[in-house]
Amino acid sequence: MQKLWILVVMSGLVGLYLFSCSTGKMHPSGIDFSKVPFEHLSDYGFFKGEQNKLMPSPGVLPYRPASELFSDHAEKSRFVWMPEGASASILDTGYHHLAFPDKSILIKNFYYSQSENEKQRIIETRLLIKMEGEWNAFAYLWNDKQTEAKYEIVGATIPVTFTETYGTKHSIEYIQPNKNQCKSCHNQGEKLVPIGPKVRNLNFAFDYGNGEMKNQLTKWREAGYLESFDQADLESCMVDYEDKTSSLGLRSKAYLDINCAHCHSPKGPASSSGLFLTYEEKDPTRWGVYKTPVAAGFGAGSFTYGIQPGKADSSIFIHRMKSEQVGVMMPEIGRAMVHKEGVELISEWINSMD
C-alpha cells in the first residue's frame, strides 16, 4: 500500500518535472488539437523566452495586411503558423481569398507600446484556429504583470492609458469582446472566417528584420505556407490608407474595406443594409452615394444619405464615424474612440465627390 502511494507521488513529481520543463520548450508543432483551447497562451508555444517579448518560435511567421483595422489605436502584431507539410492555396483570384489547411493558426496581439509609465502593455491575444474545416476564435487576456495570458470567453472591460503615435495621451476603457461577438466581424455567410489574410492584403514587401524585405506571399511560399503561384496572375495589392502617395479614392476604399466591409458585404452581417463597402465594389449606390438608410434608426442623425457627394458633414458615414454613442457609432464594435485620421480621410473623399 505504502509502495503504491510512493509510486503515485513519484509519478506526480515526474509529471510536474516534465511539465515545467516543457513550458519553456513548447512549440506549436506539439499542440494536441483535441485539447484546444488551452488555458494559457504560453501552452501553445508561439513565443519563445519571455512571453511578452512576443519573439516568435521557429515557423511562427509575422505578417501584416496592407491596411489595418482601427481599434482604439491598439497596435497589433500578427503571426501565422501551419503544421509541417501543410500549406494554403490561393482560391480563384477574383476575390483574393486564401484557403487555409486544417490546424492553421492566426495569432493577433493587441498592445499599446506607450502605455502607463511609457511601457509596452499587451492587452489581449486573439487566435483563429482551423480545425476539421472550421475556424474557431479564442481570446486570451494578458495579466497585469505581463507574464501570461489566460483564456477568456465572457470578455472584459479594461481601463488603459496610452500615448498614440502623434503624441496624444488617452485614457479609455478597452473592451475585449465576448466569444460570440467575434462573429460580429469574422463572419461570411454565418461562417467564422479570417479577415486580414487575403491575397490582395498581403501582396506587398514586408520587413522581416535583419535586412530582409520580401513580398509576404513569396515569403509564405518559401516557408511552405503557400502552394506555388504565379505572381503575374495575382491582383495587385490594396493600398495602405495611411500612404499619402496613393490616390484619395483608393485610400478611402481601403479604409472602408478593412474597417467596415467584413460586415458591409453581400455575405456579411450587415448585408441587410444593402450598403457594401468592399474594395472591389464598383456601384456607387452600394457604397452609399445617395443611398437612404434602412435600419439605421437614430444612427442616421438628421441626414438623408450615407454619402451626400460634396458634403461630408451632411453624410451619415461621417455622422456615425464621429460618434462615440453606442447605437450610433460605426463600426458598432471594436472601438470606443473616434478615429480622427479616418474621419478626415473619408471626409476629404466625400467632399471631393461631385
Partner 1 sequence: MFRIIFLALILAGTLVGCKNSSDPSSIATKDLKIGSPDQVKKIIEQFILAEDSTVIELPTGHFEFETQLIIDNLQGLTIKGKGMDKTVLSFKGLKAGGEGVKIVGNDILLEDFSVYDAPGDGIKTQNCNGITFRRINATWTNGDKSKNGTYALYPVQCTNVLIEESHASHSRDAGIYVGQSENIIVRNCEAYGNVAGIEIENCSNAEVYDNKVYDNAGGILVFNLPNLPKADGARTRVYNNEVLENNHKNFAIPLNESPNGNTVTMIPPGSGIILLAAKEVEIFGNKILDNKTVGVAVANYHITGFPSEAPDWSPFSSDISIHDNEYKRPLAPPDLSKDLGKLIAAKNAHGIGKTQDIIYDGFWDKSKGAELSSNPMNICIQEKGIEDLHFTLYDLYGGEDDIKAFSDYNPFVCDYTVQTDVEELKTL
Residues that bind partner 1 (CB under 8 A): 153-155, 157, 173, 175, 177-181, 183-184, 190, 266, 269, 271-274, 285-286, 290-306, 316, 325-327, 332-334, 336
What is the nearest approach in angstroms of partner 1 to the Cβ of residue 235?
25
Q: Do you find a cis peptide bond into 269, omega within 30 degrees of 0?
A: no
Minimum distance, C-beta of residue 138 to partner 1, in the bound complex (Å): 12
Q: How many other CB atoms sit within 10 Å of the CB of residue 70?
A: 21
Note whether 62 and 79 are within 8 A (CB): yes
The least CB distance from residue 193 to partner 1, in Å, is 13
Q: C-beta of 168: minimal distance to partner 1 in Å?
A: 22
Which residue, 82 or 329, has its beta carbon nearer to partner 1? 329
Cβ atoms of 110 and 122 within 8 Å: the answer is: yes
CB nearer to partner 1: give 56 or 331: 331
The distance of closest approach from Cβ of residue 264 to partner 1 in the complex, given in angstroms and rounded to an integer, is 12
Taking the least distance from each CB to partner 1, the nearer of 83 and 301 is 301
The CB-of-295 to partner 1 minimum distance in angstroms stands at: 6
Please identify, using beta-carbon distances, which residue of 123 and 217 lies nearer to partner 1: 123
The b/e string for 191-218 (b: 16+ C-beta within 10 A; e otherwise) is ebbbbbbbbbbbbbebeeeeeeeebbbe
Neighbour order of strands in the sheet with 75-81: 61-63, 75-81, 105-112, 121-131, 134-142, 149-152
User: Judged by CB, which is closer to partner 1: 213, or 294?
Assistant: 294
C-alpha cell at 97: 481569398
- Give least dist CB 157 to partner 1, A: 6
H helices within the chain, ranges in order? 2-25, 182-185, 199-202, 216-222, 248-260, 284-287, 316-321, 340-352
Contact status, residue 243 vs residue 255, Cβ threshold 8 Å? no
Q: Which residues, at least 6 apart from 198, have a Cβ–Cβ distance to it below 8 Å? A: 65, 95, 96, 97, 98
> By C-beta, is 116 or 173 nearer to partner 1?
173
Residue with cell 487575403: 198
> Which lies closer to partner 1 via its Cβ, residue 196 or residue 331?
331
Distance, CA of 117 to CA of 96 (rounded, Å): 42
Structure letter (DSSP) for residue 232: G
Q: Which CB sits closer to partner 1, 118 or 190?
A: 190
Q: What's the closest the beta carbon of residue 53 comes to partner 1, in angstroms?
A: 30
The answer to whether the bond into 65 is cis (omega within 30° of 0) is no
